[in-house]
Structure 1
Amino acid sequence: MAIRLLVALIVLGLLHVMPQLARWRGDGLFRRWVAQLADTSGSGRVLLALLVPAVLCALLSWLLGHLLLGDLLQLLFSLAVLLYCFGPREFEADLEAILKAPDGASREAAAQNLSEEGETIAWNAAALGVAIAYAALRRRFGVLLWFFLLGPVGALLYRLAQTLGRDDSLRLDSGSRTAARYAANAMDWPAAQLLTFTLAVVGHWEAVIGAWKRWHSQAAATSWYSAGPGFLGAAAQADVLIDIEAGDGYAEEHSDPLVELVRLRGALLRALLAWLSVVALIVLGAWVN
C-alpha cells in the first residue's frame, strides 16, 4: 500500500505540472482487441475484452518483480499504468480551461470537455456541478480507488471497463453493449459511494446525504449495476442548489456557474486530500503494527 500511495502522489504531481501527459493515452490496441472478439457476444465478449488485458498486466508486473531491480521496475510499471488510466484529459486542466475562457460561449464550449458520453452540458450551476462530479469520479477517484485496492491491474480494469461501457464509438452488439454498461456501472459504484460521502463531509452534509437517501429510496435493487451511480449526480446537484444563510442574514449565491465551479473544485481537492490521508494512515498503522 505504501508503494501505491507513493506512485499515486508521483502521478498526481506529474499531471499537475504537465497536464498534457493525460492526452498521450491511446486506446487503439484495446479497440483492435475488442474488434477481434466480434465472433463472440454478450457478457462473454465483455469478460474476454476486460480479463485478458488484466491478466497480461498482472503477469507483466509479476515478471518485472523477478528481474534485477525488480522493486524499482514494478514501481515504474505501476506509475506508467496509473498515468495511462487517468484521462482522457487531465481533470484540473479542463476546469482551468473553463475558468480562463474569455467569454460565455467559450466557457460553455470548454465545459463540454467534461462529458465522456457525448451528452451536452447546459451552462448553469446545477448541470455544471453534476458534470464536474462525474468527471472527477471517472478521471480521478474511480481510478485511484481501484488502484489502491488491486494495484495497476485494478486501475487498468476500471479504465478499460469505462471505455468499453461508455464509448459509443466502439462497435458492440446490443448484448455486449448492455453487459459492458453493467460492468462500468458496477466498477463505478463503490468509488461513487465513497466520493458522495466525502463530499458530504467536506461540503453540505444535510443536502448531500438527503439527496443520497432519496435516490436510494426510489432506486431498484439492481440499480448498482443497471442504472449507474445516479446518486452522485443527485448529491452534487443538491449541494449546488442549497442556499446557505450567511452570518449577515443573506444567502450564498449558487446560481453563477463559475462561482460554483471554483467552490466544487475546492471541495473535490479536499476530498482528494481526505482519501490520500486515509491511505497514509493505513500505511502508518501497518508500519506501527
Structure 2
Amino acid sequence: MAVSLLAALIAIGLLHLQPHLAHWRGDGGFRRWVTQIGDTSGTGRVLLALLVPVALCLLALWLIGLLPMADLFRLAFALVVLLYAFGPHAYEADLEAILRAPDGASQQAAVQSLTDDGEPIAWNAIAVGEAVAYAALRRRFGVLLWFFILGPAGALLYRLAQTLARGPFDLDPEAKSTSRAIAHFMDWLPAQLLVFTLALVGHWDAVVHAWKEWHRQAIPGSWLRDGPGFLGAAARADIQVDIEAGDGYAEERSDVLAELKRLRSAFVRALLAWLSVVALIVIAGWMS
C-alpha cells in the first residue's frame, strides 16, 4: 500500500506540474488490439479485449518481483500504468482550459472535453457541474480506488473498461452491452464513495437527500445498464443549493465559471481526503 500511495502522489504531482504528459496517453495500441480480435463477438470479445492486457500487466509485475531492487522497479511500473490510466485527457488541464477560454464560444467548446462518450454538454451550471463530477470519477477517483485495491492491474482494467464502453469501437450489440455493464460495475463503488466525500466537502443534506431519492426511485439494477446516476443526482443537488443561495439575480446565481471553480476546489478537497485515508492505513500498518 505504501508503494501504491507513493506512486499515486508522484503521478498526481507530475500531472499537475507537467499536464503535457497527457499527450502520450493515447488509446491507439488498445484500439488496434480490439480491431485485431474483430473475428470474435459478444461477451467473448469484450473479455478477450480486457483480460489479455491485464494478464500481461500481472505477468510484468511477477517478473519485476524477481529482479533485484524489486520495490523500486515496482514503483516505476506502477507510476507508468497510473499515468496511462489517468487518461485519456488531463483532467485538471481540461478544467483550466475552460476557465481560461477567452469568450463564451471557446468556453462551450472547451467544456466538451469533459465527456468521453461524445454527448454534448449544455452551457449551464448544473450540466457542466454534472460533467465535472463524472470526469472526476472516471479520470481520477475511479482509477485511484481500483489502483489501491488491485494495484496497477486494477487501474489498467478500469481505464480499459471505460475506454471500450465509451470509445468509438465497432462492437456488436451484445459486446457493447457487456462492455457498458462492466464499466458501470467498476464505476459503482468509487461513485458511491465519491458521493459521500462530496457530501462531506460540500452540502451534506442536499447531497445525501438526492442520493437517497435516486435509489428510492431507481429500478433495481438499473445502474448496471445506465450507469451510476446517483452521482449525477448528487452533483446536481450540490450545485442547486449554491444557485438557490444567490442574491436573486439568475445571471449571478448560475454563473457557470464560478460553479466550476467551486467544484474544482471541492474535488481537490475530496482527493486530499481519499489520499489522507490511504496514508492513515499505511501508517497504521507500520505501527502494527
Q: TM-score range by the shorter chain?
A: over 0.9
Unmatched 5+ residue regions in structure 2?
none
**Could you tell me how far 1:266 is from its partner in structure 2?**
0.5
Residue 145 in structure 1 maps to residue 149 in structure 2: no
In structure 2, the partner of 1:224 is 223
**Compared CA separation, residues 28 and 243, structure 1 to 2 (3 A):** closer
Alpha-carbon distance in 2 for matches of 1:23, 1:215: 37
Q: Is the 8 A contact 1:19 1:93 kept in 2?
A: yes
Q: Is the 8 A contact 1:142 1:192 kept in 2?
A: yes
Q: Is the 8 A contact 1:114 1:132 kept in 2?
A: yes
In structure 1, the partner of 2:157 is 157
**Could you tell me how far 1:137 is from its partner in structure 2?**
0.5
Q: Is the 8 A contact 2:112 2:120 kept in 1?
A: yes
**Compared CA separation, residues 71 and 102, structure 1 to 2 (3 A):** same
Q: Is the 8 A contact 1:25 1:87 kept in 2?
A: yes
**Could you tell me how far 1:200 is from its partner in structure 2?**
0.4
Q: Is the 8 A contact 2:244 2:253 kept in 1?
A: no
In structure 1, the partner of 2:65 is 65
Question: Could you tell me which amino acid in structure 2 is paired with residue 15 of structure 1?
Answer: L
In structure 1, the partner of 2:76 is 76
TM-score computed with the length of structure 2 as normaliser: 0.96
Residue 106 in structure 1 maps to residue 106 in structure 2: yes
In structure 2, the partner of 1:202 is 201
Unmatched 5+ residue regions in structure 1?
none
TM-score computed with the length of structure 1 as normaliser: 0.95
In structure 2, the partner of 1:269 is 268
In structure 2, the partner of 1:180 is 179
Deviations 1:78-110 (A, max 9, x none): 000000111211111111111111111111111
In structure 1, the partner of 2:241 is 242
Question: Could you tell me which amino acid in structure 2 is paired with residue 235 of structure 1?
Answer: A
Q: Secondary structure, in 3 states, of the residue corresponding to 2:184?
A: helix
**Could you tell me how far 1:121 is from its partner in structure 2?**
0.8
**Could you tell me how far 1:226 is from its partner in structure 2?**
1.3
Deviations 1:127-180 (A, max 9, x none): 01001001101111110000000010000000000001111x111111100000
**Compared CA separation, residues 174 and 67, structure 1 to 2 (3 A):** same
Q: How does 1:79-94 map to 2 (within 5 A)?
A: 79-94=79-94
Point out 4+ residue stretches in structure 1 off by more than 6 angstroms.
Answer: none
Q: Is the 8 A contact 1:142 1:191 kept in 2?
A: yes
**Compared CA separation, residues 186 and 245, structure 1 to 2 (3 A):** closer
**Compared CA separation, residues 237 and 72, structure 1 to 2 (3 A):** same
Q: Is the 8 A contact 1:25 1:88 kept in 2?
A: yes
**Compared CA separation, residues 3 and 254, structure 1 to 2 (3 A):** farther
**Could you tell me how far 1:23 is from its partner in structure 2?**
2.0
**Could you tell me how far 1:74 is from its partner in structure 2?**
1.1
Q: Is the 8 A contact 1:23 1:87 kept in 2?
A: no
Identity %: 66
Question: Could you tell me which amino acid in structure 2 is paired with residue 194 of structure 1?
Answer: L
Q: Secondary structure, in 3 states, of the residue corresponding to 1:242?
A: helix
**Could you tell me how far 1:26 is from its partner in structure 2?**
2.3
**Could you tell me how far 1:65 is from its partner in structure 2?**
1.5
Question: Could you tell me which amino acid in structure 2 is paired with residue 196 of structure 1?
Answer: V
Alpha-carbon distance in 2 for matches of 1:118, 1:27: 16
In structure 2, the partner of 1:6 is 6
Deviations 1:231-270 (A, max 9, x none): 1111101111114887xx9579541001100110110000
Q: Secondary structure, in 3 states, of the residue corresponding to 1:171?
A: coil
Deviations 1:41-78 (A, max 9, x none): 22111111111111110010110110122221111000
In structure 2, the partner of 1:279 is 278
